[in-house]
Amino acid sequence: MAEVRALADTHRIRARHEFRGLRTAEHYFTVPLDHGSANSATDDQTAGETITVFAREYSSTEYSEEEAAKLPWLLFLQGGPGGRGNRITSLSGWMKAAAKDFRILMLDQRGTGLSTPVERQSLVLRGDAAAQADYLTHFRADSIVADAEFIRHALDSGPWSVLGQSFGGFCALTYLSFAPKGLREVLITGGLAPLHGPAERVYRATFRRVAERNAEYFAWYPEDRETVTRIVRHLEQHKEFLASGERLTPERFQMVGSFLGGNTRVDSLHYLLEDAFIETPLGDRLSEAFLEQVRSLVSRAGNPLYAVLHESIYGQGESTDWAAWRVLEEFPEFKPGAEAPLLTGEMVYPWYFEQDPALIPLRDVAAMLAAKSDWCPLYDHQQLAVNKVPVAAAVYKDDIYVDHDLSMETAAAVRGLQTWVTDDFHHDGIGEDGEGIFRRLFGLVRSSR
């Protein structure tokens, strides 16, 4: 810990702003790339290397600057992997509720946003594919938690509160495992991670949930069942290209199933599909309006870390070896050649790195990470079993990304963890009624003291 404190002077605030009832401050921290090497005697070449981690502080102008500075911190851990912290222009939803009691620290997790971003352009600076893969091993939840502890000390904060959404909840469980003394309380929404592998069990559950969600959607919009099949068959027979130049393949189109993970967002899928076809001199083709909407859904240019590191969030002591791709063989209804092909969810497959221009340069890196078999543990089961930090989690019964049954298995393994189980929301519940969800979970942790 002495080493962490010695580095705390590498914190700077670059700018402050006030607008629409909120006050912001932009924090930059210089942190070790490899916290383990930095805090131990080692000859590792990364031992002295540092990266920048950015976080934006939000508080309400209902408080003066002096009053706000006395409020305790709430650290928000975003979903992902590869998702930067939210950029907001007014306090609403869960942030409106939280700002009554906290200063909010919105973290850009390492590799995202302004935190030494990882993209294909920057990764080439690391060297060959092996060097790039080795670099990315420092971008999982254990490193994110080490960053958070470094930042907490740099801010001279006592134990703080943490809210983790989706993958942010996975990180919160890692925090509870390895740095519980830094936590006052933890709130988790849609993010109770399975504590042990293999990754295949996650994807079997995920495929089942996504299949059920497809059935539910097509019951609401039966005409869309025919439209989806028609689009897949059309793409098998005709070459259609996105505005960025790459071909839209049947399997890439199926990625629009990401809509299925939402509450109100699921209905937006219908509006997308109704734009699909337009008459042309060559017959019916996919409209440019449709193709442009699809482009933003099937490209990982904005968050390549999601694709590269996605399966590694389940890797502990063994390789994931493209688990979702292998498990897909057990669910042929998701293959484009099925009689009525289903839409897919957030699973990542090897062909992403052959068809997405933003990912093609990372193909060898992704393959190396998929084959990596010595991932370190992300959770300490013994520590979680004797946990003393108040924890409350929203568990969504029909969540297609973080399975309810696996979440409840995890809840039972964390001492004192309280769950609020509901079928009112899907994975993005915090975006639907963030204020209500935050208040409920906050009430649970405070009532447990």
What confidence tier does 420 reach under pLDDT thresholds 50, 70, 90? Answer: very high
Q: Is 166 a catalytic residue?
A: yes
What does the pLDDT look like over 239-261, one tens digit per residue?
999 988 999 999 999 999 999 99
Q: pLDDT confidence of 48, banded at 50, 70, 90?
A: confident
pLDDT reported for residue 39: 61
Helix 129-136 vs helix 363-371: angle between axes, to the nearest 10 degrees?
60
- Averaged over 39-68, what is the pLDDT? 83
The pLDDT score that the predictor gives to residue 44 is 53
Say whether 427 is catalytic. Answer: yes
- Specify whether 189 is located in the same domain as 205: no
Which pTM value belongs to this model?
Answer: 0.94
Cβ atoms 447, 441 nearer than 8 A? no
Average pLDDT, the chain: 93
Of 317, 343, 371, the one marking the end of a domain is 371
Round to whole Å and give the CA distance between 352 and 357. Answer: 9
Are 353 and 207 part of one and the same domain? yes
How much of the chain exceeds pLDDT 70, in percent?
96
- The pLDDT, as a whole number, for residue 263 is 81
> Do 174 and 223 fall into the same domain?
no
Mapped onto helix, strand or coil, the DSSP state of residue 184 is strand
Question: Comparing C-alpha atoms, which of 395, 393, 391 is closest to residue 424?
Answer: 395
CA-nearest of 408, 313, 421, 449 to 369 is 313
Domains held by the chain: number: 2
Residue 54 clears pLDDT 80, i.e. is over it: yes
Q: 336: buried, middle or exposed (CB in 10 Å: 19+, 13-18, 0-12)? A: middle
Phi first, then psi: what are they for 278, rounded to 5°? -140, 145
Decide: 139 and 115 in contact? Cβ < 8 Å.
no
Do the beta carbons of residue 225 and residue 218 sit within 8 Å? yes
In 139-280 the beta strands, taken as DSSP E runs, fall at: 160-165, 183-189, 277-280
Examine the domain organization and report whether 192 and 209 are in the same domain: no
**Same domain for 117 and 50:** yes
Cα 95 from Cα 57, distance rounded (Å): 12
Cis preceding-peptide flag for 81 (omega within 30 of 0): yes
Q: Region 316-331: what's the mean pLDDT? A: 95
**What pLDDT is recorded for position 46?**
56
Residues in the chain: 449
The candidate with the shortest Cα–Cα distance to 90, out of 26, 19, 27, 25, is 19
Share of the chain above pLDDT 90, in %: 89
Residues 259 and 346 in one domain: yes
Instruction: Write down the pLDDT at residue 260.
Output: 94
157 is catalytic: no
Predicted confidence band of residue 47 (pLDDT cuts 50, 70, 90): low
Last residue of a domain, one of 371, 395, 426: 371
Q: Which two tokens stand for residue 155?
A: 């801010």
pLDDT for 244 equals 87
Quickly state the pLDDT bin for 87 (edges 50, 70, 90). Answer: very high
For 194-202, what is the mean pLDDT?
93
Is the confidence at residue 13, as pLDDT, over 80? yes
12 strand-pairing partners: 28
pLDDT of residue 37: 75
End-to-end CA separation in angstroms for the chain: 28
Residues 224, 247: one domain? Answer: yes
Structural domain harbouring 358: 199-371
Dihedral, CA of residue 79, residue 372, residue 407 and residue 447, to nearest 10: -60
CATH number at residue 25: 3.40.50.1820
Determine the pLDDT at residue 131. 97
Are 389 and 345 members of one domain?
no
1 — pLDDT class (breaks 50, 70, 90)? very low
Residues 47 and 101 in one domain: yes
Domain shared by 321 and 355, yes or no: yes
206 and 134 part of one domain: no
Query: What per-residue confidence (pLDDT) applies to 403?
Result: 94
| Token reading at 194 | 């399975």
- Residue 327 pLDDT exceeds 80: yes
Domain boundary among 317, 350, 371: 371
Q: Are 367 and 320 in contact (CB under 8 A)?
A: no
**Residue 382 binned pLDDT confidence (cut-offs 50, 70, 90):** very high
Same domain, 104 and 120: yes
Counting DSSP H helices and E strands in the chain, the numbers are: 20, 11
The active-site residue, picked from 59, 166, 299, 407, is: 166
CA distance 400 to 213: 8
